[in-house]
Chain A
Amino acid sequence: DTAVSQTPKYLVTQMGNDKSIKCEQNLGHDTMYWYKQDSKKFLKIMFSYNNKELIINETVPNRFSPKSPDKAHLNLHINSLELGDSAVYFCASSHRYEQYFGPGTRLTVT
């Protein structure tokens, strides 16, 4: 049973395209997150949702738009992709403090 799942696992696309990454958790957690991990392995929070409400919105270009249709899902839509968007994107969820990460989506923009 996968606790936090993401699709797709790999995403290769051209500059200027729009793409979405989906995330689902079956842990019953209230809070979900999106993180970006760059090529140097730095892990930075992008967004956090609690019970479908946005609670953390870091300095992220507005080309990135999260959407939480329900507590168990948090999707990430990216418009007009740029080369610098290439990274691994992790979804995570938490109940109290421990965060459970999904397997990641490796996005490559060419």
Chain B
Amino acid sequence: GQQVMQIPQYQHVQEGEDFTTYCNSSTTLSNIQWYKQRPGGHPVFLIQLVKSGEVKKQKRLTFQFGEAKKNSSLHITATQTTDVGTYFCAATNFGNEKLTFGTGTRLTIIP
């Protein structure tokens, strides 16, 4: 089945530093979504990217979809303690409605 890998698995940053997580697939993706899960919480939808090379911003968060639609990234500028959590990418293949979640990147912030 489809696999979606994320790196890094863990990231510890000082508050105020930037953070990036990368999502990679061996197959071309129909679209990619990003979710955030706070410790003890449930995944919450952040954004969906559909077009090749698409870039979207939400305040300090920048999401990018690769030109080949096989990879994506989430970049957070100047992290804050509220950014703590696990960030998941999730993707669907063409003709397949199933959303496959990436392995997740757990972000911890050192105040």
Contact = CB atoms under 8 A, between A and B. Distances in A.
B20 interface: no
Contacts of A104: 42
Given A41-B86, A97-B33, A90 B99 contact: no
Contacts of A45: 98-101
B42 A102 contact: yes
Given A43-B104, A45-B98, A104-B42, A98 B33 contact: yes
B44 to A, nearest CB: 7
Contact of A43 (B31, B33, B97, B101): B101
A55 B98 CA distance: 9
A35 B41 CA distance: 14
Interface in A71-101: 90, 97-101
A36 to B, nearest CB: 11
In this complex, which of A45, A48, A97, A100 has the most chain B Cβ atoms within 10 angstroms of its Cβ? A97
| A interface majority secondary structure | strand
Contacts of A97: 31, 33, 48
A103 B37 CA distance: 11
| B interface majority secondary structure | strand
Contacts of B101: 35, 42-45
B25 interface: no
Contacts of B22: none
A43 B43 contact: yes
Interface string A1-43: 0000000000000000000000000000000000100000111
B45 interface: yes
A55 B97 CA distance: 9
Contact of A90 (B33, B43, B100, B106): B43
Nearest to B96: A56
Nearest to A106: B40
B65 interface: no
Contacts of B104: 41-43
Interface of B: 31, 33, 35, 37, 41-45, 48, 86, 88, 97-101, 103-104, 106
